Amino acid sequence: MNEATHPARPIVRLRPNKAGARAVRHGFPWIYADELVLDRRSRALEPGVLAVLEDADRRAMGLVTVNPNSKIIARMLDADPGAEIDRAWFARRLTRALALRETLFDAPFYRLVHAEADGLPGVVIDRFGDTAVIQPNAAWAERLIAPLAEALTEVTGVSTIVKNGTGRSRTLEGLAEETVVLQGAVAGPVPVAMNGATYMADVTGGQKTGLFFDQRPNHAFAQRFAKGARMLDVFSHVGGFSLAALAAGAEAATAVDSSAPALDLAGQGARAMGAEARFTTRQGDAFAQMEALAAEGAQFDLVICDPPAFAPSKQALEAGLRAYERVAKLAAPLVAPGGVLGLCSCSHAADLGAFRTACTRGIGRAGRTGQIVYTGFAGPDHPLMPHLAESGYLKALFYRLLP
């Protein structure tokens, strides 16, 4: 039995008459706190410890990592309860992930590991050429960051590794926030070529890992409408859609964001592309800036709004949908007749249907009508785990607004 394989490894057990065992056998990677037998021993386990998961009949189901402080109390790591989670184990998972990305992309700029979908629960790794940024968003990954980083170097050959330990997910796991260069050195923003544009990724001080690779296919779709267009990029971060539009021949692009450092990076990207003369920025609250642009009578051929997650949880869903509706209502008047409005959501709690309803209602409240010409999602370097809806968080809707 598992105890013979690993006598020191604790055992956690699913409660009887729960759907959890069936879900795990079918591939669901999480066990919630109300699905596990919680006694004094299991509650005392250190966050991130490895344990053997058993069903109510004491049959081994696999190897999990446990965090008694988290609502997701256990995450499945390996179907083999005796698996050694060491450098070699990480290397096998990373090699599998790398094979997909090398098939998809000609250059090493992509999401290398997309958490559960790549078999590393709670772990995100973005690659920027010779630099990789790890987000260990679960306690087990924080405990095992050293062998993970060693395997990352072995498999990819990167010389610089940054640990970005920030974000809401770590807070939910009870982890402290910190950003540390684990290996190598970071001299400044890393230039990233994508869809013909040049982006500057701040891998030590920017949002998330420094750049959002997930919007790559949606940037490419927006470029179809960009040639000769006047373009507005709201919640632009480092110029995701605006720099893509400039690369595709936009007449002019304006980026709006509350973060002055992000807009500065966007400006650096525009200069690197030789498009500085066609690029302007407006720093401030995005809602206020859209209202100001409307008061100025400004209109654009292409408007994209890519806000932060307004509905990061089910509890925030109602308020989040109202915020998405407001974005659409404020953005629609800024679109010239026959122009295109792109609206995005990275909130996994807001499914596509609810998001589409909110956006369409907002456009209607602005007195505009339109047709949806494209529905986009994250790129293939952000694969979906079929059992886990949360892995498919990104939605993008492109409306052609009628005269």
Active site residue ranges: 346
DSSP-derived pairing of the beta strands 197-201 and 230-234: unpaired
Going by C-alpha positions, the residue among 272, 264, 213, 211 that lies closest to residue 247 is: 272
CA dist 53 and 2 (Å) reads 10
Note the Cα 161 to chain centre separation in Å: 19
182-to-42, 48, 160 alpha-carbon distances in Å: 32, 20, 8
CA dist 147 and 163 (Å) reads 13
Identify residue 322 by its one-letter amino acid code: R
CA dist 248 and 329 (Å) reads 27
Residue at token pair 């290996």: 183
Going by C-alpha positions, the residue among 128, 120, 115 that lies closest to residue 77 is: 120
CA dist 336 and 250 (Å) reads 15
Note the Cα 186 to chain centre separation in Å: 22
Note the Cα 368 to chain centre separation in Å: 31
The sign one gets for the Cα dihedral 206, 394, 223, 331 is negative
CA dist 34 and 122 (Å) reads 20
